[in-house]
Amino acid sequence: MRKRKQATIMKREIFELIFERWNLKEILFAVAKEITDVLEADSCCIFLLSGSKSIEYIAGYNFDERKASIFLKEGEEVMKGKHLLILSNLIDENNSAFATAREQGIFSVAFSPLFLKEQPLGFFTVCSRKPQFFHKQDFKLLSDLAKDVVFILEKVKFIKELREKSIRDSLTGLYSRNYFVTRVSEEISRARRSGESVGFLFCDIDNFKSINRTRGYAEGDRVLCRVANTIKTYLREADVICRYGGDEFAILLPHTDYLEATRVAERINYGLKCAAKEETPCLTLSIGVVCYPEHANSFEDILAKADVSMIFAKHCPESKIVAWGGWNIPDIKKLRIREVLPEVIYTLAEAADEKNGYAPDHSRLVSRKAVVLAKEVGASEEAIRKVRVSALLQDIGNMAIPEYILNKPGSLTEEERNIIKKHPEQSVKLLRYIKGLGELALIVRSVHERWDGKGYPDGLSGEDIPLEARIISVVNAYYAMLSERPYRRKLSSRETIKQLKEQAGRQFDPGIVKSFLEILQRRKRNDRLPES
């Protein structure tokens, strides 16, 4: 009698498949191969109960899938009886199915049921081309192998559930942001090869904060789930929707140009309106529409432009839908010093503040104080106007940078630092698409230049850096240092002033630093700058 190999299929390779690949057929193929090897047999196949309780062939090693049905009847009987079955000589069997097996050169077969806590999972079959191959002594070995298979199936189910939870939002059941980003990358790669378009919708529930405040967070959660379910009814099976933020949803539309994507957005808002006839107030979505490659050629670009489009959609009362570039705001030159800036500009600034992890009014504060400093250094009325708006919009390019980089608690890698250094260019890209803001591009691009020429993105130095950018740079740095950041504690006013003095002539224009410190000194008693 043969001495069997070690009776286990619990090998590192199989567990690597379980934790890394999540492909059931691939895992069970490896399991079938190990069972065949342990028993020194010729082939093995595994059958499992499907959701409809029918038995299906899943995977096999050295086995013709087309012939799998020859073992179904005996396998079902084994499962019903919950017992092992060894047929050592198929030559003596009259079953027509076994005649087919003999034609395949199979003369010995062993069946082992798979049960988990009395619940049937399926069975596996091991085959040999030799008659009298299996013996009664193999029952224990087969039973042990069946336990191993059940253990592996448990692990596969557990990992699958964990993975499903990790890619799903716990409240709405929609996909998570991380999963969405992965799918977007895959879809853009596919579209790049095929030359097709990919549509993106970024949706924001209007007045959601008001719902939470006046009707409670429980009702806010119900609204999120209701909106999520309504959106799903207007999407195709291939479309991917995720909960991207608190009240934001992102939708990936494969094989879709921006016209069709806009039509999908219109159907969603119409459906939401119909579904909410009895709701007071009626729910609406602001939807930004962006398409690859028509509007953007990278996910960072798509994200930034979708954010901007969605912000403009909030100020489009009729349709609440805006495709990238499909907006119109007053020419910025018509805005006087004492006039209220377009609300959309403030909204862009607030979106950038939120992405950067600053307080909601950080950009407005920097804008107001930069205007005070501009007046202090004798800037022209035109320069003051540009300072006011540029300070609001200097960081909107950060909307294209992943949050894990912007708010990383530890040191940045070289690659991450290079991504950060691209944000002025992203800001400029966005500004140039907004009527009237293109003239601010050079200022916004230059805020992170240094007096000593070691800044970015162009390495400008001294007075080659626009005056407006030099002013904003000092004020922005001052209030940034006073803010708590993931990678450092906030500095005290004294520490911040010390930093400004040390960096005068290096990072900052020394004359502008001097003027700013004089303002701070004059207002030391109440510790605030005068309002513009």
CATH number at residue 16: 3.30.450.40
pLDDT at 66 over 60: yes
Q: Based on the domain organization, do 161 and 214 belong to the same domain?
A: no
pLDDT at 250 over 90: yes
Split at pLDDT 50, 70, 90, the class of 7 is low
By C-alpha distance, which of 283, 306, 300 is closest to 202?
Answer: 306
For residue 46, the model assigns a pLDDT of: 93
Rounded distance, CA 270 to CA 318, Å? 12
Instruction: State the distance between the two ends of the chain, measured CA to CA, in whole angstroms.
Output: 97
In what helix (H) or strand (E) does residue 366 lie, and over which residues does it extend? helix 362-376
The stretch 15-29 carries a mean pLDDT of: 75
For residue 527, the model assigns a pLDDT of: 53
- Give the orientation angle of helix 362-376 with respect to helix 381-393, to 10 degrees: 160
Residue 47 forms part of a structural domain: yes
Condensed to tens digits (0 to 9), the pLDDT of residues 386-407 reads 999 898 888 887 776 776 677 7
- Tally of domains within the chain: 3
CATH number at residue 267: 3.30.70.270
For residue 19, the model assigns a pLDDT of: 64
Q: Which letter does DSSP use for residue 464 in this model?
A: G
pTM assigned to the model: 0.52
Q: Based on the domain organization, do 477 and 337 belong to the same domain?
A: yes
The stretch 6-11 carries a mean pLDDT of: 58
Domain end position, chosen among 105, 132, 166: 166
For residue 256, the model assigns a pLDDT of: 93
37, 58, 114, 123, 251 from 83: Cα distances, Å: 23, 21, 10, 10, 50
Residue whose pair of structure tokens reads 């919950």 in the numeric block? 82
Average pLDDT, the chain: 82
Split at pLDDT 50, 70, 90, the class of 454 is very high
The stretch 69-81 carries a mean pLDDT of: 85
Domain that holds residue 100: 12-166
Contacts of 248 by beta carbon, 8 Å cutoff, 6+ apart: 202, 203, 204, 205
Condensed to tens digits (0 to 9), the pLDDT of residues 415-430 reads 888 888 888 887 887 7
Q: Based on the domain organization, do 314 and 192 belong to the same domain?
A: yes
Residue 527 forms part of a structural domain: no
CATH number at residue 380: 1.10.3210.10
Condensed to tens digits (0 to 9), the pLDDT of residues 313-361 reads 887 666 788 888 765 544 334 333 333 335 557 667 666 666 666 666 7
Q: Based on the domain organization, do 109 and 190 belong to the same domain?
A: no
Pairing of strands 55-61, 85-87: unpaired
Condensed to tens digits (0 to 9), the pLDDT of residues 481-493 reads 888 776 677 888 8
Domain end position, chosen among 166, 194, 219: 166
Could you tell me how many residues make up the chain? Answer: 532
Residue 5 forms part of a structural domain: no
Rounded distance, CA 310 to CA 179, Å? 22
Residue 531 forms part of a structural domain: no
Domain end position, chosen among 118, 144, 166: 166
Residue 171 forms part of a structural domain: no
Rounded distance, CA 279 to CA 291, Å? 33
For residue 9, the model assigns a pLDDT of: 60
Q: Based on the domain organization, do 58 and 182 belong to the same domain?
A: no
